[in-house]
Amino acid sequence: MYMPKLIRKDVKKLSIMVHVLMFIIGITFGSFYTLAVYRIPLKQDITHTHSYCPKCNHRLGFLDLIPVLSYICLGGKCRYCKDKIRPRYLVLEILSGTVFLLYSIFLNIDLLNIEAVKIVNLAFGVCFFSTVFITVGIFNEYKSVQKSVFNFGIIVEAIYIVYLYILNRSIYRYIIYVIALLFMVMVNNSKAKEKLKIIAFLLFIIIGILEICLTI
């Protein structure tokens, strides 16, 4: 369909704004992932407790918590005790932002013509990416898999199976997904080694992301 040059420029600007916004959302989620990776294994609250420096326990202010920028402006150190902040926090935030950016480009969300399917896929994608980042982060840090995160992934996958059923997707893809879910539940409740659990978990999440891509 033909669009006047001026309208095409406006659409392009809107598209760029969406991608920039998704990158900002991504690094914000990345900041949350670093908090979750540190607190979940320690059984600490991740939603209501204020952020603090793990070294001096000083409560962090707004200027200390701006994703990416705070790390750069503070030279990778705590503002209060000057203890060095591990670079992995910065890396995780940038990686998360990049993944969200690429995903928004792939979905090609149009603000002038928002499709419900793309919004739902975006929501499921965020859940999938969140479980991957947190699970891998915890395993990398503590060499363990947290059941709470694992269970969250199972719940998300179960809801997604219902979503696939509503969309009347291919029965073969649906059956594969159900079998994968049952396998994941079995592994989660067994005494399997942590490496086997995380491999099973990540394979299942990857299947979910591929399914989202095929649904678009």
User: In this predicted structure, what is the pLDDT of residue 78?
Assistant: 92
Q: Kindly report, residue by residue over 140-174, the tens digit of the pLDDT.
A: 888 777 778 878 877 887 787 777 777 766 666 66
pLDDT at residue number 29: 93
Q: What is the mean pLDDT of the chain?
A: 79
Tell me what pLDDT residue 26 has: 93
State the pLDDT at residue 69: 92
More confident residue, 200 or 158: 158
Chain segment 38-80, per-residue pLDDT in tens: 888 888 888 777 888 888 988 888 888 899 999 999 999 999 9
Q: pTM value?
A: 0.78
**What per-residue confidence (pLDDT) applies to 97?**
93
Give 145-149's long-range contacts (Cβ < 8 A, gap of 24+). Answer: 145/194, 145/197, 145/198, 145/201, 146/40, 146/41, 147/188, 148/40, 149/40
pLDDT of residue 169: 61
Segment 177-194 mean pLDDT: 69
Whether the per-residue pLDDT at 198 is higher than 80: the answer is no
> pLDDT band at residue 95, thresholds of 50, 70 and 90?
very high
Q: Give the mean model confidence (pLDDT) for residues 177-199.
A: 69
- 43 vs 179 pLDDT, higher one: 43
Q: Are 89 and 187 in contact (CB under 8 A)?
A: no
How high is the pLDDT of residue 122? Answer: 82
Determine the pLDDT at residue 136: 81
Residues 30, 189: Cα–Cα separation, whole Å: 29
Q: What is the mean pLDDT of residues 99-122?
A: 78
| Residue reference for tokens 């040059």 | 5
Question: What type of residue is 7?
Answer: I
